[in-house]
């Protein structure tokens, strides 16, 4: 065996070892990325609400606001009536 064969064999062995080490390191990094994506996806699922639920809630809120507007619509008329009574009685 010549020294050139040893150098060539050693070089090939170094390339193979480097390739395996790079593959293992990159595989761990890719695995971590997927793990983080899974964590974020589960966080988003817990923080968000389905669209149908939002629509129901908004419809209920709109209905309540309409009822409140109907019930408070007469308040300015009542105030005007009270002001008129106070003026007739000499109270401002």
Is 86 within 8 Å of 92 (Cβ atoms)? yes
Question: Can you give the pTM of this predicted structure?
Answer: 0.40
Helix (H) or strand (E) holding 77: helix 75-88
Residue with tokens 């040893």: 6
What confidence tens digit (pLDDT) does each residue in 26-85 have? 999 999 999 999 988 888 887 777 777 788 888 889 999 999 988 888 888 888 888 888
The residue ranges of every structural domain in the chain are 3-88
């Amino acid at each position: 065996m010549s020294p050139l064969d040893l150098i060539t064999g050693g070089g090939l062995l170094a390339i193979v070892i480097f390739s395996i080490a790079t593959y293992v390191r990159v595989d761990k990094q890719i695995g971590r990325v997927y793990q983080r994506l899974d964590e974020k996806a589960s966080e988003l699922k817990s923080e968000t609400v389905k669209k149908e639920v939002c629509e129901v809630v908004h419809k209920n809120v709109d209905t309540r606001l309409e009822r409140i507007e109907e019930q408070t619509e007469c308040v300015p008329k009542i105030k005007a009536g009270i002001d008129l009574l106070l003026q007739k009685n000499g109270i401002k």
